[in-house]
Amino acid sequence: MIGKIFFWILIIAIFIYLIFPFYWALISALKTQAELIRTPATYWPENPTLRNFEAVFQNPGFIRGLGNSVIVAGAVTVLSLVVGSFAGFALGKLRFRGRSPSLYVILAMTMFPQIAVLAGLYAVIRLLGMPALPSLVLSYMIFTLPFTVWVLTAFFKGLPISLLQSAQVDGASTFQTFTKILLPLTAPALVTTGLLAFIQAWNEYLFALTFTSIAPGARTVPVAMALFSGQVAREEPFGEIMAGAIVVTVPLIALVLIFQNRIVAGLTAGAVKG
Amino acid sequence: MAVKTKARGPSALARGEERTALFLLIPSFVIIAVVALYPLGRVVMSSFTNERFAAGAELRGGQFIGLENYRQLLSMTLRTVPQRLDADDQPMFEDGRPVYVNPRLFLRGLDTPRTYDAVSVFDLFGNRYVLGASSARFIRAVWDTLVFTVTSVALETLLGMIIALTLTAKFIGRGVMRAAMLVPWAIITVVSARIWEWMLQPTRAGFFNAFLSDLGLIDESIAFFQTAALQVPAMVMIDVWKTTPFMALLLLAGLSTIPTELYEAAEVDGANPVRRFFSITLPLLTPTLAVALIFRTLDALRVFDLFQVVYGEARYSMASYAYYQLIAARNVGMSSAASVVIFVIIFTFAILYIRALGVERDD
């Protein structure tokens, strides 16, 4: 009995710990400016107002950030799935010399700290004369590609080799076998890796901050949130910042909850055998 | 037809397969070359130069200066701080304690080719020592990042383990709990930094100061971000909240692979829960734990978002130091050297981990 009470206290404590900052952001976003700066802070908004949300949606920098993030994260997802499934198929199902070195080279990229390539990447982008948004898409491959290749390679490996053989007997080329037969079967893995690539790209800050420093129009959500300033420059407008935090977080939480089984499977892929 | 296929089919097929494989791998390797290998090579090269950004982000300079950037970044000196002398050139004492000269001014006054700034001052065996570095802020950034990494990874592992073990029990609302675990993970790091920045405000308008004073635990508000001793712990606090769920999820997945018969057998043998944890759970969870630790440690070592958003240039992590050398100081050569040092540190950690844990992973 005591054990049971202790167990539920623990469960509730963990739940509060996980959710509380989100709750605090939400109630702060609903508070009036006067209530926000009052001490001590109130634990519940007295006169809930949507004024902060209105201000956020009238903030051109924030809206543009949302648009840019959707474009960048969407393009990163598509590009890493296309390129990653090519590589995953080759590494998971085909026999060729240099297969395991290739896999290691791609995996080794996971260890690359982004900061270590920052200055060099900046030079590459200037060399190619790329605008800010495409340059972000390209540079995000450094962390989405290794992961995508890793998960898809494992997935392709798990598909029965007989599929490949019977398609070849029927006269299909290797590439046709890949696009017509194997790729549709990998749909679940594609959804998982695509979601994770999207979230990683949505999150990224260092490259976004650096490569948009001379192109403010290309700022993504994290940069917009970090540099958020209100109409009045005097004080940091935390009410609006919290409203912005809610706006950028809710769609992501919805996405994550809808696909939670896939995401958990993707996150734990490779970490746990079996 | 059949005979023909048998005669040359397999090798043609194999050759075709090889060609297709290479063709399919080309895009990946082109991308890797462009976004990782070439940039890394270029960073290593420019770390030996005095390359700078001029106005308009043009690269300028780039003369080879050998190891100068590294020397400037890593030079350190350990000195005994002398006692202050009185009018008769006798060492000064106050209340029986020696009075020392200001360590900062002492370092400045040294006749060395480089100027040193104090990184830390400490007393040992009746002497006072000062550790000076030519780039004191970089050395401090490295130290802070290491402290941040070790404490946050340790706390995440501990908390993640507690959460994972709790969630292995079957109870009503388990699905809700699992969903709640994904909330911190789904919040953008920059956004969670800003939420915590707001909760940790130095006045009672912030949650923590209001709450702690409501509990009667503090009389005066705590300035979490302005008090030097609390700056790194505050970062750890945010990071632990954000990443514990990831740890818990990995461990939970690992726990689910342990056969329940083992626990039943141990229970029959009269092993208590603590014993069962240490002789069944922990050993069988080691591979998962190893992978989770590697992921999290390498991630924590490259921490940037939290430090940059909350502190800007007031306190650096390794990565934010290199960032500001590049963007604010426009010192490409120096930033590159810092990046290379960071890369080496992270690589060393990776190798150590793989050496220490990799053997068990293979069987």
In chain B, what residues touch A7 (CB-CB under 8 Å)?
166, 169, 171
* Digit-coded pLDDT (tens) for B296-338: 999 999 999 999 999 999 999 999 999 999 999 989 999 999 9
Average model confidence (pLDDT) across chain B: 88
What's the complex ipTM?
Answer: 0.91
Please indicate whether residue A115 or residue B8 has the higher confidence score (pLDDT): A115
By Cβ distance, the residue of B25, B199, B309 closest to A90 is B25
Domain count, chain A: 2
**What ranges do the domains of chain B cover?**
76-134, 137-362
Which of A37-46, A66-75, A80-89 comes out lowest in average pLDDT?
A: A37-46
Q: What is the pLDDT of residue B60?
A: 62
Q: What is the pLDDT of residue A273?
A: 44
SS3 per residue for A84-112: HHHHHHHHHHCCCCCHHHHHHHHHHHHHC
Same domain, A103 and A181: yes
B180/A263 touch (CB, cutoff 8 Å), yes or no: no
Same domain, A109 and A40: no
Tell me the average pLDDT across A37-49. 89
Which residues, 6 or more positions from A144, have their beta carbon under 8 angstroms from its beta carbon? A76, A77, A80, A84, A197, A200, A201
- Cα dihedral B132/B133/B138/B143 (nearest 10): -40
Residue A199 lies in a domain: yes
Q: What is the pLDDT of residue A181?
A: 83
Q: Calculate what percentage of chain B has a pLDDT beyond 70.
A: 93
Tell me the average pLDDT across A220-236. 79
Same domain, A71 and A197: yes
Q: Calculate what percentage of chain B has a pLDDT beyond 90.
A: 51
Task: Quote the pTM value.
Answer: 0.91
By Cβ distance, the residue of B39, B188, B196 closest to A124 is B39
Q: How far is A55 from chain B (nearest CA, A)?
A: 18
Residue that is written with structure tokens 């809206």 in the block: A63
Residue in chain A closest to B326 (alpha carbons) equals A119
In chain B, what residues touch A123 (CB-CB under 8 Å)?
39, 42, 59
By Cβ distance, the residue of B28, B191, B347 closest to A145 is B28
Residue A231 lies in a domain: yes
By Cβ distance, the residue of B18, B192, B302 closest to A96 is B18
Tell me the average pLDDT across B177-183. 90
Best of B1, B35, B45, B187 to substitute, by most chain A Cβ atoms within 10 angstroms, is B35
By Cβ distance, the residue of B176, B209, B319 closest to A115 is B319
Tell me the average pLDDT across B46-70. 80
In chain A, what residues touch B203 (CB-CB under 8 Å)?
39
B191/A245 touch (CB, cutoff 8 Å), yes or no: yes
Flag whether pLDDT at B347 surpasses 70. Answer: yes
Q: Which residues pair with B121 in a beta bridge?
A: B130
Flag whether pLDDT at B5 surpasses 50. Answer: no
Best of A109, A112, A221 to substitute, by most chain B Cβ atoms within 10 angstroms, is A112
Flag whether pLDDT at B26 surpasses 90. Answer: yes
A131 close contact with B: CB closer than 8 A: no
A87/B171 touch (CB, cutoff 8 Å), yes or no: no
Residue in chain A closest to B196 (alpha carbons) equals A21
Same domain, A75 and A103: yes
Residue A274 lies in a domain: no
Per-residue confidence band for B178, with pLDDT thresholds at 50, 70 and 90: confident
* Digit-coded pLDDT (tens) for B247-293: 999 999 888 888 888 888 888 888 888 888 888 888 888 888 888 89
A111/B346 touch (CB, cutoff 8 Å), yes or no: yes
Tell me the average pLDDT across B34-53. 92
B42 and A120 Cβ atoms separated by less than 8 Å: yes
Same domain, A70 and A129: yes
Write the DSSP assignment of B109-143 as a string of letters.
HS--SS--EEEEEEEETTEEEEEEETTHHHHHHHH
Residue A273 lies in a domain: no
By Cβ distance, the residue of B28, B192, B323 closest to A206 is B323
Same domain, A208 and A91: yes
* Digit-coded pLDDT (tens) for B132-169: 999 999 999 999 999 999 999 999 999 999 999 999 88
By Cβ distance, the residue of A95, A124, A264 closest to B17 is A95
Flag whether pLDDT at B363 surpasses 50. Answer: no
A253/B186 touch (CB, cutoff 8 Å), yes or no: yes
A window 185-214, beta carbon within 8 A of B: 199, 202-203, 205-206, 209-210, 213-214
* Digit-coded pLDDT (tens) for B69-93: 999 999 999 999 988 888 888 888 8
| Domain encompassing residue A251 | 51-268
Residue in chain A closest to B25 (alpha carbons) equals A87
B254/A260 touch (CB, cutoff 8 Å), yes or no: no
In chain B, what residues touch A273 (CB-CB under 8 Å)?
257, 287
Angle between helices A238-258 and A60-93 (to 10 degrees): 30
Q: What is the pLDDT of residue B241?
A: 97
Which of A266-270, B170-174, B179-183 comes out lowest in average pLDDT?
A: A266-270
Tell me the average pLDDT across B213-217. 91
Same domain, A94 and A140: yes
A186 and A122 Cβ atoms separated by less than 8 Å: no
* Digit-coded pLDDT (tens) for B84-120: 888 888 888 888 888 898 888 898 888 888 889 999 8
Residue A173 lies in a domain: yes
Distance, C-alpha B335 to centroid of its chain: 18
Which of A93-97, A247-251, A267-271, B123-127 comes out lowest in average pLDDT?
A: A267-271
Flag whether pLDDT at A274 surpasses 60. Answer: no
A117 close contact with B: CB closer than 8 A: yes
Q: Which residues of B206-237 are buried (b: 16+ CB within 10 A; e: fewer)?
A: bbbbbbbbeeeeeeebbebbeeeeebbebbbb
Best of A4, A18, A89, A91 to substitute, by most chain B Cβ atoms within 10 angstroms, is A18
Flag whether pLDDT at B226 surpasses 70. Answer: yes
A125 close contact with B: CB closer than 8 A: no
Residue in chain A closest to B5 (alpha carbons) equals A169
In chain A, what residues touch B242 (CB-CB under 8 Å)?
none
Same domain, A132 and A38: no
By Cβ distance, the residue of A21, A24, A106 closest to B32 is A106
DSSP, collapsed to helix, strand or coil, labels residue B80 as strand
A25 close contact with B: CB closer than 8 A: yes
Same domain, A20 and A76: no
Residue in chain A closest to B167 (alpha carbons) equals A11
By Cβ distance, the residue of A86, A206, A225 closest to B27 is A86
Per-residue confidence band for A155, with pLDDT thresholds at 50, 70 and 90: confident
Q: What is the pLDDT of residue B56?
A: 54
Q: What is the pLDDT of residue A234?
A: 59
Q: How far is B150 from chain A (nearest CA, A)?
A: 18
Per-residue confidence band for A231, with pLDDT thresholds at 50, 70 and 90: low
Tell me the average pLDDT across A27-54. 91
CATH class of B137-362: mainly alpha
By Cβ distance, the residue of A40, A226, A256 closest to B210 is A40
Same domain, A111 and A155: yes
Write the DSSP assignment of B262-318 as a string of letters.
HHHHHHHTT--HHHHIIIIIHHHHHHHHHHHHHHHHHHHHT--HHHHHHHTTSS--H
CATH code assigned at A198: 1.10.3720.10
Same domain, A183 and A223: yes
A86/B40 touch (CB, cutoff 8 Å), yes or no: no
A124 close contact with B: CB closer than 8 A: yes
Tokens encoding B61: 């300079």
Write the DSSP assignment of chain A as a string of letters.
-HHHHHHHHHHHHHHHHHHHHHHHHHHHHTS-HHHHT-SSPPSS-SS---HHHHHHHT-HHHHHHHHHHHHHHHHHHHHHHHHHHHHHHHHHH---TTHHHHHHHHHHGGG--HHHHHHHHHHHHHHHT--HHHHHHHHHHHHHHHHHHHHHHHHHHHS-HHHHHHHHHTT--HHHIIIIIIHHHTHHHHHHHHHHHHHHHHH--HHHHHHTTT-GGG--HHHHHHT---SSSSS--HHHHHHHHHHHHHHHHHHHHHTHHHHHHHHHBTTB--
Flag whether pLDDT at B223 surpasses 80. Answer: yes
Same domain, A27 and A118: no
Flag whether pLDDT at B4 surpasses 80. Answer: no
